[in-house]
């Protein structure tokens, strides 16, 4: 059901609004809102065929985060509807 709702949101609201909604309403527990910029960056990179470009993901209590490929973030947060919208 969540994937179907996400597919509908792609056409109804902006990229940022859609991903914000998806992270907060389509996940239990909701994904922390501080992950929104990372999710947006991952989607934009994947839309531009830069699937392996790495993004720094914060790690609590450390100075630096983990470097994660964009496609991994898309898969973990089920953001495929926003990547595939260009197909």
pLDDT of residue 58: 85
Inter-residue contact 70 to 46 (CB < 8 Å): yes
pLDDT > 70? residue 86: no
Please give the model's pTM, rounded to 2 decimal places: 0.85
pLDDT tens per residue across span 46-75: 999 999 999 999 887 666 788 999 999 999
> What 3-state DSSP class applies to 54?
strand
Given a contact cutoff of 8 angstroms between Cβ atoms, the answer to whether 5 and 26 are in contact is yes
- Domain region containing 44: 2-86
Domain count, the chain: 1
């Amino acid at each position: 059901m969540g994937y179907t709702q996400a597919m509908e949101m792609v056409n109804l609201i902006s990229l940022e609004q859609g991903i914000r909604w998806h992270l907060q309403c389509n996940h239990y527990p909701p994904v922390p809102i501080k992950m929104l910029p990372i999710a947006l960056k991952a989607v934009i990179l994947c839309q531009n065929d830069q699937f392996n470009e790495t993004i720094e993901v914060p790690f609590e209590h450390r100075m630096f985060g983990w470097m994660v490929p964009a496609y991994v973030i898309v898969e973990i947060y089920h953001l495929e509807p926003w990547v595939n919208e260009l197909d």
